[in-house]
Amino acid sequence: MPYETDYTNQGFTKVGTRVNRPDGVDKVTGRAKYGADANAAGQLVGRVLRSPHAHALITKIDTSKAEKLPGVKAVLTGKDFPDLTGGNRGLMDILENCMARGRALYDGHAVAAVAAIDADTANKALKLIKVTYKQLPHVTDVDEAIKPGAPIIHDWVRTAGVTPAPTTASNVAQRSEFGHGDVDAGFAQADVIIEKSFKTEQTHQGYIEPHACLATLGPDGSGELWVTTQGHFTFRNVCASLLGLEVAKLKVTSSEIGGGFGGKTHVWTEPVALQLSRKANRPVKLVMSRDEVFRATGPTSSTSVDVKIGAKRNGKITAATAELRYQSGAFPGMWAMFGAMTSFACYDLKNVKSVGFDVLVNRPKVAAYRAPSAPMAAFAVESVVDMLAAELGMDAVDFRIKNAAKKGTKASYGPVYGPIGIGPTLDAVKNHPHMKRKLGKNQGRGVACGFWFNFGGQTCTDLNIGVDGSVNLTVGTVDVGGSRASLALIAAEELGIDYEQVRVTIGDTNSLGHNDTTEGSRGTFSSGMATIFAARNAVDVLKQRAAATWDIPVEQVIWEAGEARAKGRQNNNLPPLSLKEIAAKSPRTGGPIAGHNEVVADGAGVSFASHMCDVEVDPETGATKILRYTVVQDAGKAIHPDYVEGQFQGGAAQGIGWALNEEYIYGDDGRLQNAGFLDYRIPVCSDLPFIDTQILEIPNPNHPYGVRGVGETSIVPPLAAIGNAVSNAVGVRMTHVPMSPPRILNAIETAKE
Amino acid sequence: MNGVTVSAKVNGDAVQYVCPADESLLDVLRNRLNLTGVKEGCGTGDCGACSITLDGRLVCSCLVLGAEAEGREIGTVEGLSEGGKLHPLQEEFIEKAALQCGICTPGFLVAAKSLLERNPNPTEEEIRYALAGNLCRCTGYDKIVRAVQSAAKIMRRGKKVAR
């Protein structure tokens, strides 16, 4: 295969091996400490009162009875959060989402909070707070919210991205457009055009660990926050801005994180917990219930998408358009923009246009969910791609291969691609044994592709060598899926030492410079890059110490296989000095040996995947069983293959849940009806088969080891792959996710009529 | 507080605690006995993160009252390893990369141990149904099932050697 190999074949000895993770023992023995596992002397229990209404004016909050209840130490409402945002609308949205300011915008919106000596007292206090609401008309559906006459969520919102600038309020917060060429001319050249509309329902990341924190903030403005988060530095900065604190005086420590998938990139109750602590002058522990997690954190958008693609008889796509409407909850978001950017990223298109509309509704503020916005766009586009292939009488994989983007393709969202993996993943699908398995009655096969940008971002890393030669690597990216193992492998590779000699710690915000949130599949990519550079800094020091020990110029010292070696015949009498030997002498040769790096890790390589799925649909019940599922994805370079596979499998499983079961169900009253794991059903063990994986390695030229982020892309193709499989099984095109049994039965019935 | 005084055994050790009559065993284990390896994911018996054994039977500790444990034997993840030696399930969960975030791991280990005590040689399907009460959002269950299969094999071999 003619793929770039410049960055492979580096003779890795550690990278690419399947070592045991360093936090494994802690996690199998129950020792690992998560958000709710920390306690402080004198801590209070924090609880939040939430709106039962989808949209209401808060005319009065009477907290006097709650305040008088013995054991209650602090009560807060929106009035206890002065506006310190300096006109920053984004910050104000965060603040208003943490605690309502005169208006409840969705079922679950926080309206008051208490801190009390125990949970029982706190719960009693919540019941004593009397909130007077005046209900307002609400809207929860994305298409309804755009219609004329729909209740306006915010009267200050004017649609951004349109000219001339509108003068009246709208629920469309932003219009964004991407593409190039002339789509009208392109469609005029097409022999076949397919146009179809699709809907997807709102889903939640569904991490098993609810949000939890332990907050301490004293009257001196100094504080500490122990919290389950994907980005403790970001949490620090946001909490400091909202509460008027100096960044350096708020120490935030990330606990072990029990899943995030994007949902723990935003603050929800943390500023509230800190403010309760400040008011009570005692530590406050605030743990969300599962009901609160569903109602009041950040699920992903529900969407409504129209796609039109035209192609010539020879299978070449001539034009493609998409209009994507994504609801962002009760506050403006950028989610339709991401949908518009990713929708056609897999293909090499001359004429393409995608337009996104971010829409406000009375639902919780949408947050990132693993490759946010891409799965819904892919569902629509990859469904139409399949329909078009069928119409042309072409194999669905061959059709994709013929139109796949490649190196040099101008992406629909702007940039020109470097070496990319979409073609190779499709070739792998074509040759995969999965595709040769025979299908039986009521069974169908689906294939779909997916794309995600990936992200690098600000990163700061420290590497310290102990006197015994063991190495402590301190990073600021939270370990969400095994990155400590990957980063230890990278440090060991650079230094030429054993993996077991390296211990990785996630530093708190007082230990390192700023690190961006662990999002955009950046953990191993960016901290890996910073670790390589920090290790190389340390190697420079190690060489200097060896040179000084030998009394030769440092230019004559090289670092190889974990030891300093003296170059040149004149130095033949100097035996190599190992890292351990140099470390042991370090107190006498200049003190501690360390390497450090701060970097903006630009150049995150884009990521592509192609998935194959076989399903069987019971025509009596409409229930779908996943028979086989295979993920092929480009990892750039798989540092730890086990955890790369784990990301592929986990993303596929989440996508399967989304495709078949998961959805937020709102009643006519605008209240969420299924805020629990019983009624919001994520896949369980008996729902799934083994999920096969194939890792491809098309190196990212912007990373010393060729690494691309791997965490997110795996959730992009499943909706479409399963949609195509189910459509093939039942002989009816499925256009609405999740494809729950009633929807499938309804589609079959409608087709018969 | 109208406390109930309870005497029970936890992981083989005798314990005594006082708890309100309506407090869950999960809260007792976590907040009164400091056994924070037992996790709360939902509090409604849907996720299995708080799985423990009560007189050898697998239960969600969030659905049991602390007061109900009087005179009974409680088993938690903290009791799985013996001294410094990990249980084969713990070993294989690490070896087979069967955990990512790890929040569900204690519950899975307790549930899998309970399964293997009842059925030392389960099929893949039996494993999947036995663990269907435990939610994992990271792994897609693939490596968890493989780890349980592997541990079962090691434990069967161990029993043969012991005989």
Instruction: Look up the CATH number of the domain holding residue B155.
Output: 1.10.150.120
Length of chain A, in residues: 753
Which B residues, 126 through 155, put their C-beta within 8 Å of a C-beta on chain A?
127-129, 131-146
- Please report the ipTM that was assigned to this predicted complex: 0.97
Sheet holding A563-566, edge to edge: A557-560, A563-566, A577-578
The answer to whether residue A458 scores a pLDDT higher than 80 is yes
pLDDT one-digit tens code per residue, A620-641: 999 999 999 999 999 999 999 9
Q: What is the pLDDT of residues A223-266, one digit of tens each?
A: 999 999 999 999 999 999 999 999 999 999 999 999 999 999 99
Closest Cβ opposite residue A32 in set B38, B102, B146: B102
Same domain, B32 and B92: no
Q: List the single residue in A677, A686, A687 with the smallest CB-CB distance to B47.
A: A677
Pick from A30, A650, A687: CB nearest B100: A650
Q: Which of B60, B101, B134 is the best mutation test for A, with the most CBs of A within 10 A?
A: B101
Interface of B with A in 52-91 (CB under 8 A): 76-78, 80-81, 86, 89-90
Determine the pLDDT at residue A78: 98
At residue A148, φ and ψ (nearest 5 deg) are -60, 140
Contact B128 A685 (CB under 8 A): yes
Inter-chain Cβ pairs, chain A and chain B, closer than 8 A: 180
B16 inside 8 A of chain A by CB: no
Q: What residues of A are in contact with residue B49 (Cβ under 8 Å)?
A: 208
Span A473-486, average pLDDT? 96
Q: Residue A261: closest CA among chain B residues belongs to which residue?
A: B138
Cα gap A196→A194, rounded to integer Å: 7
Same structural domain for residues B13 and B71? yes
Banded pLDDT at A4 (limits 50, 70, 90): very low
- The mean-pLDDT minimum among A6-15, A77-86, A521-530 falls in A6-15
Q: Does B33 touch chain A (CB under 8 A)?
A: no
Whether B113 and B134 share a structural domain: yes
- Residues A562 and A544: their CA atoms lie apart, in Å, by 15
Is it the case that residue A504 has pLDDT exceeding 80?
A: yes
Between chains, do B94 and A24 touch, taking CB under 8 Å as contact? Answer: yes
Find which of B10, B76, B100, B134 to mutate to test the A interface (most A CBs within 10 Å of its CB): B100
pLDDT digits (tens, 9 = 90+) for A680-730: 999 999 999 999 999 999 999 999 999 999 999 999 999 999 999 999 999
- Record: contact A259-B90, CB cut-off 8 A: no
**Which residues of chain A does B127 touch, with a Cβ-Cβ cutoff of 8 Å?**
685
B7 and B75 inside one domain? yes
- Judge if B139 and B104 occupy the same domain: yes
Of the candidates A67, A151, A58, the one whose C-alpha atom is nearest the C-alpha of residue A110 is A58
Report how far residue B52's alpha carbon sits from residue B33's, in angstroms, rounded to the nearest whole number. 14
Domain boundary among B79, B100, B117: B79
State which of B23, B57, B79 marks the end of a domain.
Answer: B79
CA distance A147 to A149: 6
Nearest residue of A to residue B79, measured between CA atoms:
A29
B26 in the same domain as B94: no
The pLDDT value given to residue B159: 78
Cα B148 to Cα A459: distance, rounded to the nearest angstrom? 38
Q: Mutate which of A27, A628, A712 to test chain B, going by most B C-beta atoms within 10 A?
A: A27
Confidence of residue A1 (pLDDT cuts 50, 70, 90): very low
B161 pLDDT band (50/70/90 cuts)?
low
Average pLDDT for chain A: 96
Query: What pLDDT digit, counting tens, does each position of A415-451 carry?
Result: 999 999 999 999 999 999 999 999 999 999 999 999 9
Residue-wise pLDDT for A532-554, tens only, equals: 999 999 999 999 999 999 999 99
Number of folded domains that form chain B: 2
Q: What are phi and psi of A747, to 5 degrees?
A: -65, -40
**CA A524 vs CA A207, A278, A417, B96, B154: distances in Å:** 21, 37, 22, 20, 33
Rounded to a whole number of angstroms, the distance from the CA of A28 to the nearest CA of chain B is 6
Contact B41 A290 (CB under 8 A): yes
**Together in a domain, B10 and B59:** yes
Report the relative pairing of strands A557-560 and A563-566 from DSSP bridges: antiparallel
Q: What is the pLDDT of residue B84?
A: 87
Percent pLDDT > 70 in chain A is: 99
Compute the distance between CA of residue A203 and CA of residue A661 in angstroms, rounded to an integer.
10
Q: Are residues B17 and B73 in the same domain?
A: yes
pLDDT of residue A5: 38
Which pLDDT score, from 0 to 100, does residue A3 have?
Answer: 35
Q: Which of B102, B109, B142 has its CB closest to that of A256?
A: B102
Q: Are A362 and A670 in contact (CB under 8 A)?
A: yes
Q: pLDDT tens digit string along A354-401? A: 999 999 999 999 999 999 999 999 999 999 999 999 999 999 999 999
Together in a domain, B9 and B56: yes
Looking at the complex, does the CB of residue B50 fall below 8 Å from at least one CB of chain A? no
CA distance A696 to A703: 16
Which of B79, B111, B138 delimits the end of a domain? B79
pLDDT per position as a tens digit, B17-76: 999 999 999 999 999 999 999 999 999 999 999 999 999 999 999 999 999 999 999 999
| Residue-by-residue DSSP string for A344-362 | TTTB--SSEEEEEEEE--S
Fold exhibited by the domain A303-454+605-752? Aldehyde Oxidoreductase; domain 4 (3.30.365)
Q: Are strands A352-359 and A317-327 parallel, antiparallel or unpaired?
A: parallel
Q: Please name which of A319, A293, A296 lies closest in space to residue A308, comparing C-alpha atoms.
A: A319
Architecture per CATH, domain A42-136+210-257+264-296, reads as: Alpha-Beta Complex (3.90)
B71 and B111 part of one domain: no
pLDDT value, residue B162: 58
How far is the alpha carbon of B92 from chain A, nearest alpha carbon, in Å? 10
- Is any Cβ of chain B less than 8 angstroms from the Cβ of A686? yes
DSSP state of A132: E
Domain range holding B66? 3-79
Averaged pLDDT, A608-626: 97
Residues of chain A with CATH 3.90.1170.50: 42-136+210-257+264-296
For residues B1-15, average pLDDT: 93
Same domain, B125 and B64: no
Fold of A458-600: Aldehyde Oxidoreductase; domain 4 (3.30.365)
pLDDT at residue A9, as a whole number: 52
Selection from A371, A423, A418 nearest residue A401 by Cα: A423
pTM of the model: 0.97
Q: Is A627 on the interface with B (CB under 8 A)?
A: no
CATH code for the domain of B35: 3.10.20.30
pLDDT at position A619: 94
State whether B154 and B130 are in the same domain: yes
B111 shares contact with chain A (CB less than 8 Å) = no
